[in-house]
Structure 1
Amino acid sequence: MTQAVPRRGRNETEEERADRMWGDLIQEVRVAQTGVQILFGFLLTVVFQPKFARLSDTDQHIYIVTVVLGACATGALIGPVSLHRLVAGRRVKPRAVRLASRMTNVGLVLLLATMTSSLLLILRVATQDGYVPWLVAVVVAWYLVCWYGLPLWARSRHTSRPDD
């Protein structure tokens, strides 16, 4: 006679799980959306400053790349809201949650790229020292540790296996 193993985790249907995961995802997206929208708003004003015309061609190109990255990040992070509006009531929430999660991940990568190029541009304009690329690399490494390294470490360390 085998002994019943107590079930771990939540006892929820696929729809209940999708509802919970949707709520969690939207809370996470709110934080990222706010940051990317504020950053993007500031980026849009730079071109109208008198100093912009005096930037080197390289710095102007970095600015253009940064604005495009910011626009793409904004689109990816607002995408889940539009997705939810367009598929609400169509009984596709589990699939919508997976798609919205992918859009959010893409948005976070684009936000990382936007912040990297913004930092590069700001530091290039603020100083002409050769340490700028190294400083940017250190900050990007910090972002990678905080946004991906620690979460992936926690996931691998603390995720229970089905046979546990």
Structure 2
Amino acid sequence: MAEHDQARGSPDDWGRHETPEQRADRRWADLLQELRVAQTGVQILFGFLLTVVFQQRFTELSDTDRHIYVATVILGAATTGALIGPVAMHRLLTGRRFKPETVVLASRLTLLGLILLLFTMAASLLLVLRLAIRDAGAAWLVGGMVAWFALCWFVLPIWARYHVPSGDR
């Protein structure tokens, strides 16, 4: 089977007869669709986070909850930067014949954005659940949600990458 896989080239080549430029165009279009979904969610979450400080009850937060809030806002800003970064990268590199390289860099930045989004979601949940249930159960619930996100976003795709039969790729 390994010989068969080697004869077919890399997984990007399987089932497609594309030039490197066509492959880069397709991968860029796919990445843009993924970014649209992620960016929308991040922008809504970040916008909500920015309004929290202006609520009357914000002054009643404990120092710990304020620190969690600040960390959450910083994580949200970093996530926004990472997920919008590929768009700026593409705009600044368009016409320079770097599309295959741009797609690789943008994909890595998007993965970083998803990791930052995981941390932003965890911090947001921790803040909200600490206020909602006021006990140590909040941390356990957040831990469970982090495990769920990690399973959905990272573990299952990585598992599929290595366990789906090569003919189905």
Q: Is TM > 0.5 for Structure 1 vs Structure 2?
A: yes
**Paired residue for 1:21?**
27
- The answer to whether 1:12 aligns with 2:18 is yes
2:116 to 110, 119, 123: 110
- Opposite residue 30 of structure 2, the aligned amino acid is D
Q: Which moved more, 1:124-133 or 1:92-101?
A: 124-133
In structure 2, stretches of 5+ residues that fail to align are: 1-6
- Opposite residue 155 of structure 1, the aligned amino acid is R
* TM-score, length basis structure 2: 0.89
Deviations 1:111-154 (A, max 9, x none): 00000000000000112122111111111100011001111111
> What is the alpha-carbon distance in structure 2 between the residues aligned to residue 19 and residue 75 of structure 1?
23
- The answer to whether 1:59 aligns with 2:70 is no
**Which secondary structure state, in structure 1, belongs to the residue aligned with residue 166 of structure 2?**
coil
**Paired residue for 1:124?**
130
For residues 1-150 of structure 1, the aligned pairs below 5 Å read 8-150=14-156
Percent identity reads 63
> What is the alpha-carbon distance in structure 2 between the residues aligned to residue 159 and residue 93 of structure 1?
30
CA apart distance, 1:14: 0.6
Q: Which moved more, 1:67-76 or 1:149-158?
A: 149-158
CA apart distance, 1:159: 5.9
* TM-score, length basis structure 1: 0.92
- Number of equivalenced pairs: 157
Structure 1 stretches of 4+ moved >6 Å: none
The verdict on how the C-alpha distance between 1:126 and 1:95 changes in structure 2, with shifts beyond 3 A counting, is same
Deviations 1:4-51 (A, max 9, x none): x78841010111100000000000011000000000000000000010
> What is the alpha-carbon distance in structure 1 between the residues aligned to residue 35 and residue 128 of structure 2?
26
> What is the alpha-carbon distance in structure 2 between the residues aligned to residue 91 and residue 158 of structure 1?
34
The root-mean-square deviation of aligned C-alpha atoms, in Å, is 1.5
> What is the alpha-carbon distance in structure 1 between the residues aligned to residue 24 and residue 8 of structure 2?
23
Q: Which moved more, 1:47-56 or 1:151-160?
A: 151-160
CA apart distance, 1:160: 2.5
